[in-house]
Structure 1
């Protein structure tokens, strides 16, 4: 008899931890776990700001799937659609034709993508901050602009090069802004032509609060700390346009910037719309607390979901109808419950509901600076920064990963931060094509 096949779409926090736990809870004779993702690794997203700032090696912020999910089948490709009625997923391979994968149970966990708005110039001149590639691009971009500014005598060109805009004041925006500004300030030691006052860092936030997860008091503290560092914090302000790098804000201010980083929220992955599974008004998969997909009052057999792309009721919330927030804290715990529930279902037992009271939040404001609101206790400064690092190191899936990150941090205590741009990584063939003549094919 063939083993029960579980297809896991997405290798983010939900997909990775579900696959790992499921493959260790059941034998290969009982279950075959197939993981499909366009990338051959899990990206530990809380480390993207530190990878961008050079505090850790970028490779140490990812977990290779084939090395760590040895009991699973890894398929590197993008799921183009799911026909759950037929228990079939269509996978576009990285290089080649599409492939049909059949399954018994489906775990749909592609996560989320940047939530963008129809703002003129945004598509052409901004970059997100959700992938490792985007984080490294932002690092290279900031350092390249320092080189441009140092090499020019044109004050307008220098001003544009040294103006950096971050849109969105959630975790990603605040940590990206703080870490990148910290890195740039260190780099200026090697640019005698430039001073701290030459840089203009702008945070644009449409609401009146930053880091709402840590509460209004720590949010106000964060704003104060960033402003004391000379950062330009624009609350209750929207980005109206950035055509050709000309930034127009809703407060009437206009200036030019070469670097615009967009972190203003996330939305469910577009793949969710390419399935026949039920969705809510925000495009998320509707789920029960057991993480089973539900259509109205009817459970969809063999379909499960969790994480950013799923609308999962929060049973610990005071107000009925509250959903779990799209955070790694929930995703990892939901993955464990989801895997256990699949095991229970395979063995003919009823699934259990997911219940977790949010422990709190931690955020870095750059090297040795942070805020934390954990179990009702508010912490700021160095203790919060230390707590931030300790917590996230504990959540790295592998022992080897923990050691590598700890080694990066330890070396950084004794060695100066490396501040060099590797911009050619984004277009590695350009130096070769520049010196190679175009030759027509032989007849």
Structure 2
């Protein structure tokens, strides 16, 4: 048995980087420290490129990076954590086949990430498609192809129109990218069906915000809005869905839109595990010290979307729930965990925002690297360059897929996926996690 064990909950941006940083230190020092990563899948998911999977630009394997292959020396425990005992320092989890397992720890890193954010709108959880994982992206891709192909066989024009209408709710990064990629994808599919010649394919983007990408500079927001409208997307700001049914959606502004596809990209919230720890939270996120330590529990660290880490560059606020912060917090968590085990000094987290990138497809993007607003082709180059640098693997394969998409176009075959328990919009577990020993 190792002299010390560090258990990391979650293999997203924060958890992955924490494991990698700690592994590098232990490999260099030779300390007898075991690193265990508990995650439902055996891969790290590069979420920013998920819209390109749904639009058939990228193979899903490009955005999934093997944990065993890229973290040699880290023990992978496949499963979902459902209970934490803080007094006995024990984590309980359920593996993919339903077996109950547990792990003792000397240090715990909570990097459970986030899940879909649901609003109390009737019918959304039953009829909308979430967008937080590979199964959801693949299902959405299959679903879009299916609707276009079913429209070719429809004799009733009203049914054909409904199947060719796609509604995206949420004009943040993900929703904007999905809405921008959508018309290009559906046009490629419809172009292979002469029966749809002259048929209008309708894409709508809804959000209660006053403008697209409200987090970005107004200039970039206008650039993204322009691209969307040029592609025929109906951009409706200040509006949202009031009710969803199997036949369509009723809008808050009034009126009913007949459709068969509702994509829910409203936002995210911390994983339910965080809410049920019994530890202090801020807007659902675990309160931490600047060193990522959970107050009152020096053996517990939290980072990423699950943690309300004080933003030392903006006093009084917590860091935003972004991959940029999660990545850097994960690296610091690995360093501070090692320091806490060996008597070293813990460092506080401080990071100035370096900007954001939004890929709009077909040579268009919006970006503000180092606060320099870019649009069009220059932004596209920066955006794709950033993604290739940020990905921990599959860079060459991703670049090849981009080249093949440019040269050969989209693949539109269905994979036979159907909606099931692996692609729910409501990602809450039926049984809430339990934490004892507050």
Normalising by structure 1, what TM-score? 0.91
Are 1:131 and 2:126 an aligned pair? Answer: no
Instruction: From 102, 105, 108, give the equivalent of 1:103.
Output: 105
> In 2, Cα distance between the equivalents of 1:237 and 1:73?
47
Instruction: From 408, 412, 417, give the equivalent of 1:419.
Output: 412
Equivalent residue pairs, number = 418
**How much does 1:425 deviate?**
6.5
> In 1, Cα distance between the equivalents of 2:2 and 2:133?
37
Instruction: From 372, 375, 388, give the equivalent of 1:393.
Output: 388
**How much does 1:426 deviate?**
5.8
The answer on whether the counterparts of 2:60 and 2:134 sit within 8 Å (CA) in structure 1 is yes
Q: How does 1:132-211 map to 2 (within 5 A)?
A: 132-195=134-197, 198-211=200-213
SS in 1 for 2:361: coil
**How much does 1:126 deviate?**
0.4
> In 2, Cα distance between the equivalents of 1:391 and 1:367?
17
Instruction: From 78, 81, 84, give the equivalent of 1:82.
Output: 84
Counterpart in the other structure of 1:284 = 285
Normalising by structure 2, what TM-score? 0.92
Are 1:343 and 2:338 an aligned pair? Answer: yes
SS in 1 for 2:228: helix
Instruction: From 216, 221, 229, give the equivalent of 1:214.
Output: 216
Counterpart in the other structure of 1:293 = 294
Counterpart in the other structure of 1:314 = 311
Stretches of structure 2 lacking an aligned partner (at least 5 in a row): 421-438
Encode CA deviations 1:277-315: one digit per residue, 9 max, x unaligned: 3222x2110011111112xxxx42101011111101111
The answer on whether the counterparts of 1:49 and 1:135 sit within 8 Å (CA) in structure 2 is yes
Counterpart in the other structure of 1:432 = none
Counterpart in the other structure of 1:407 = 400
The answer on whether the counterparts of 1:16 and 1:42 sit within 8 Å (CA) in structure 2 is yes
Distance change >3 Å, CA 357–CA 196, structure 1 → 2: farther
Are 1:367 and 2:367 an aligned pair? Answer: no
SS in 2 for 1:123: helix
Counterpart in the other structure of 1:23 = 23
Counterpart in the other structure of 2:374 = 379
> In 1, Cα distance between the equivalents of 2:98 and 2:212?
45
Stretches of structure 1 lacking an aligned partner (at least 5 in a row): 428-443
**How much does 1:350 deviate?**
2.1
The answer on whether the counterparts of 2:183 and 2:231 sit within 8 Å (CA) in structure 1 is no
SS in 1 for 2:266: coil
Counterpart in the other structure of 1:3 = 3
> In 2, Cα distance between the equivalents of 1:31 and 1:176?
43
The answer on whether the counterparts of 2:142 and 2:417 sit within 8 Å (CA) in structure 1 is no
**How much does 1:180 deviate?**
2.3
SS in 1 for 2:299: strand
> In 1, Cα distance between the equivalents of 2:47 and 2:140?
15
The answer on whether the counterparts of 1:111 and 1:308 sit within 8 Å (CA) in structure 2 is yes
Greater relative contact order (Cα 8 A, min sep 6): structure 1 or 2? Answer: 2
SS in 2 for 1:146: helix
Distance change >3 Å, CA 368–CA 196, structure 1 → 2: farther
SS in 1 for 2:58: coil
> In 2, Cα distance between the equivalents of 1:342 and 1:357?
23
SS in 2 for 1:164: strand
The answer on whether the counterparts of 1:187 and 1:419 sit within 8 Å (CA) in structure 2 is yes
SS in 1 for 2:147: helix
Encode CA deviations 1:260-281: one digit per residue, 9 max, x unaligned: 010101100011123243222x
> In 2, Cα distance between the equivalents of 1:425 and 1:96?
22
Distance change >3 Å, CA 147–CA 167, structure 1 → 2: same
Shifted more, 195-204 versus 352-361: the winner is 195-204
